[in-house]
């Protein structure tokens, strides 16, 4: 593919060109794909409305690019390697030819069950190959998939189904995750009581557990596909037709159904996948995310497959049957590019180093991270213990809304700095905005991160609520997309994401980034993970409350508190010293592994009567422990 950087000079050149001649730059990349009709114009845009269209008037089907296009050149190459939850079960190796055939067969099944172009189909499945088949089969016939992470409750599922008026849901009887079995079909049944738009429910048999069947509505996957042929002409889609809806939680209220479209999303995810990870022909690439998140959509399915890569899907969890499951799988499949989240890294960093050392990790070449700012200690552990100091760390900063990487190193090419996402991808024009809404020019500045120019994979709207799309992302800073994140651009022009801007604490008139304080506390050898929030303080306006999770219970809490205070003083400055330090055995996390600071903030504020909905947490029980604890 064109415009892939092979040196830092290349990157700088591509970047300059992508800014000076964006249309020519993206047109060149667009031309690498199979289109049924070429676009009339590369880009139409107006951030005030906002309205963005890429490859305007172009016609294509993304699955033709992810599958058919590869049949001649790499039909027998593995498209998907599937590693099951239980290491005792056989992995699946699915070639491009086999995947093409399965997708076509299931696409015909969907059609037979009454699904047409434009219909919404909800997918609520464990991490099995049929999940990828379902996603691509929808795209094959122009149906809009809405994947809901299979850890969400029936209530969350019901809300998402109704928001998009889905006509069908695809699920499984149950799902395995570690030593747990989740009764997915039971959860679906509960949700469907309040989902009038659902006509059919296709159920894959995975766990074999007892389930209820509703006559006329439910059917088994195996029976549904039986006798369906494996040839299915792709539906010809407009470049700007909807490809999928994916929900992301808003800071308040109901989840936002982010809408992504076909043409630009395909071009951008394939290009950034190849460029940032420097994927080479024959590499085994493993992203540990779930397809229920944007990371799985863009960088397990669409990006890698559009690029003709071998992408691994993992059904299990990092902690079962042992805390070395990731390293065992890397070794077993000789993984070359490994992509995971800081929360997983921090959990694994806690363990006995022997768990890492007993596996051969020499196949690894590139290590990626995504989802939240990675603290320096975790960065170093990942770099030294997993990468043995020879694998570049690709800290990819992006969002559900952006569809693909915004700021990220190019593996082995961009000089990295711990905890920095480094430099923008070609085509991305960041702006750092100050409190007065003015852009900070030059380096050595800090502020709110906006993007000034459209990029091909950006979300086009919130399903059914364009006004909210405008208000959330395009009203705070007119004519710019506002990410909701804070960042620093250092003296060299490198970006460090400092976290959501609602996580800034102003203490005695000083702006303190929670991530900065957390990082400092994490430097302590006995500290595993920290969350810092602000709470109102009589004299300083705000003060800092630190929730600290240790590797070993501290022998003397007061001694450890003193050491932490000294550390924060030393690293950030005395002003950042937490007023309270509370030792906890875990932090409340969302199912995607993000720390729920909102809840911690309420606890710190003493606002414990109204903690909001904690039922969607990964570990709701931890909230009671924290409430019962004391902080000095």
- Using CB under 6 A, list all residues that contact ligand WT7: 248, 293-295, 370-373, 395-400, 421, 483-485, 497, 500, 592
Quick one: 113 or 399, whose CB is closer to ligand WT7?
A: 399
Quick one: 11 or 293, whose CB is closer to ligand WT7?
A: 293
Quick one: 263 or 342, whose CB is closer to ligand WT7?
A: 342
Q: CA 184 to CA 166: how far, in whole Å?
A: 18
Burial of 442 from C-beta contacts in 10 A (0-12 / 13-18 / 19+): exposed
Q: CA 360 to CA 590: how far, in whole Å?
A: 32
Q: CA-based angle 427:429:431, to the nearest 5?
A: 170
Cis peptide bond N-terminal to 50, omega within 30: yes
Q: Provide the minimum distance between the beta carbon of 328 and ligand WT7 in the complex, in angstroms, as a whole number.
A: 25
Q: Report the length, in residues, of the chain.
A: 632
Q: CA 164 to CA 254: how far, in whole Å?
A: 13
Distances (CA, A) of 584 to 345, 546, 553: 19, 10, 9
Q: Partners of 312 in the beta sheet?
A: 81, 286
Quick one: 96 or 293, whose CB is closer to ligand WT7?
A: 293
Q: CA-based angle 308:43:58, to the nearest 5?
A: 55
Residue 415's CB is within 10 A of a number of other CB atoms, namely 13
Quick one: 371 or 387, whose CB is closer to ligand WT7?
A: 371
Residue 300's CB is within 10 A of a number of other CB atoms, namely 28
Quick one: 149 or 176, whose CB is closer to ligand WT7?
A: 149
Q: Which residues contact 72 (CB under 8 A, 6 or more apart)?
A: none
Q: CA 583 to CA 563: how far, in whole Å?
A: 14
Q: What is the largest CA-CA distance in the chain?
A: 74
Which residue's Cβ has the minimum distance to ligand WT7? 400
Cis peptide bond N-terminal to 321, omega within 30: yes
Q: CA 201 to CA 169: how far, in whole Å?
A: 5
Q: Provide the minimum distance between the beta carbon of 607 and ligand WT7 in the complex, in angstroms, as a whole number.
A: 23
Distances (CA, A) of 133 to 137, 228, 234, 311, 476: 6, 14, 14, 14, 40
Quick one: 234 or 373, whose CB is closer to ligand WT7?
A: 373
Quick one: 294 or 599, whose CB is closer to ligand WT7?
A: 294
Quick one: 201 or 393, whose CB is closer to ligand WT7?
A: 393
Tokens in use for 434?
A: 């100050």
Quick one: 109 or 592, whose CB is closer to ligand WT7?
A: 592
For tokens 């250092």, what's the residue?
A: 490
Q: Provide the minimum distance between the beta carbon of 42 and ligand WT7 in the complex, in angstroms, as a whole number.
A: 25
Do 127 and 289 meet the contact criterion of CB atoms below 8 Å apart?
no
Q: CA 531 to CA 589: how far, in whole Å?
A: 11
Question: Parallel, antiparallel, or unpaired: how do β-strands 92-95 and 78-83 relate?
Answer: antiparallel
Query: In degrees rounded to 5, what are phi and psi of residue 245?
Result: -120, 135
> How far is Cα of residue 132 from the mean position of the Cα atoms in its chain?
16
Quick one: 361 or 497, whose CB is closer to ligand WT7?
A: 497
269: enclosing H helix or E strand = helix 262-277
Q: Provide the minimum distance between the beta carbon of 488 and ligand WT7 in the complex, in angstroms, as a whole number.
A: 12
Quick one: 130 or 401, whose CB is closer to ligand WT7?
A: 401
């Amino acid at each position: 593919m064109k415009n892939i950087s092979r040196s830092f000079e290349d990157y700088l050149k591509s970047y300059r060109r992508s800014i000076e001649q964006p249309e020519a730059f993206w047109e060149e990349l667009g031309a690498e794909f199979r289109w049924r009709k070429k676009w009339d114009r590369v880009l139409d845009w107006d951030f005030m409305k906002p309205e963005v269209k890429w490859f305007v008037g172009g016609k294509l089907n993304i699955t033709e690019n992810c599958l058919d296009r590869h049949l001649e050149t790499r039909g027998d190459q593995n498209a998907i390697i599937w590693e099951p939850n239980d290491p005792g079960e056989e992995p699946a190796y699915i070639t491009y030819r086999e995947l093409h055939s399965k997708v076509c067969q299931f696409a015909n099944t969907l059609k037979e069950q009454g699904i047409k172009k434009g219909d919404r189909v909800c997918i609520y499945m464990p991490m099995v190959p049929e999940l990828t088949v379902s996603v691509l089969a929808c795209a094959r016939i122009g149906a809009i998939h809405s994947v809901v992470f299979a850890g969400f409750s029936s209530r969350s599922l019901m809300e998402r189904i109704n928001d998009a008026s889905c006509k069908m849901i695809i699920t499984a009887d149950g799902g395995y995750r570690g030593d747990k079995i989740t009764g997915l079909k039971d959860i679906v049944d509960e949700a469907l009581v309040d989902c009038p738009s659902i006509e059919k429910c296709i159920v894959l048999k995975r766990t074999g557990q007892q389930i209820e069947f509703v006559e006329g509505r439910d059917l088994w996957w195996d029976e549904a596909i039986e006798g369906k042929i494996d040839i299915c002409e792709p539906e010809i889609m407009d470049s700007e037709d909807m490809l999928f809806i994916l929900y992301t939680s808003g800071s308040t209220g109901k989840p936002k159904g982010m809408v992504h479209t076909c043409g630009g999303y395909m071009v951008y995810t394939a290009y950034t996948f190849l460029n940032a990870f420097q994927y080479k022909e024959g590499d085994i690439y493993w992203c540990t995310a779930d397809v229920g998140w944007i990371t799985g959509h863009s960088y397990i399915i669409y990006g890698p497959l559009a690029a003709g890569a071998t992408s691994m899907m993992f059904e299990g969890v990092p902690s079962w049957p042992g805390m070395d499951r990731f390293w065992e799988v890397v070794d077993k499949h000789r993984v070359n590019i490994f992509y995971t989240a800081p929360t997983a890294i921090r959990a694994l960093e806690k363990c006995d180093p022997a768990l890492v050392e007993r596996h051969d990790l020499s196949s690894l070449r590139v290590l990626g991270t995504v989802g939240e700012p990675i603290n320096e200690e975790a960065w170093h552990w990942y770099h030294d213990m997993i990468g043995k100091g020879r694998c570049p760390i690709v800290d990819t900063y992006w969002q559900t809304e952006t569809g693909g990487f915004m700021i990220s190193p190019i593996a082995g090419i961009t000089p990295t700095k711990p905890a920095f996402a480094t430099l923008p991808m070609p085509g991305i024009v960041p702006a750092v905005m100050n409190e007065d809404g003015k852009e900070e020019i030059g380096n050595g500045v800090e502020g709110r991160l906006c993007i000034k120019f459209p990029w091909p994979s950006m979300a086009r709207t919130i399903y059914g609520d364009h006004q909210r799309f405008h208000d959330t992302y395009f009203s705070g800073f007119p004519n710019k997309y506002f990410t909701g994140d804070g960042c620093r651009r250092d003296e060299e022009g490198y970006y460090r994401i400092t976290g959501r801007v609602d996580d800034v604490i102003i203490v005695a008139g000083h702006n303190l980034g929670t991530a900065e304080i957390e990082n400092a506390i994490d430097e302590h050898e006995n500290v595993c993970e920290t969350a810092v929030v602000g709470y109102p303080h009589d004299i300083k306006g705000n003060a800092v409350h630190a929730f600290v999770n240790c590797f070993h219970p501290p022998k003397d809490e007061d001694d450890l508190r003193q050491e932490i205070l000294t550390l924060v003083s030393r690293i950030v400055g005395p002003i950042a010293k937490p007023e309270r330090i509370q030792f906890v055995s875990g932090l409340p996390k969302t199912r995607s592994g993000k720390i729920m600071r909102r809840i911690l903030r309420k606890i710190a504020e003493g606002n414990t009567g109204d903690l909001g909905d904690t039922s969607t947490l990964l570990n709701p029980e931890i909230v009671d422990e924290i409430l019962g604890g004391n902080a000095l």
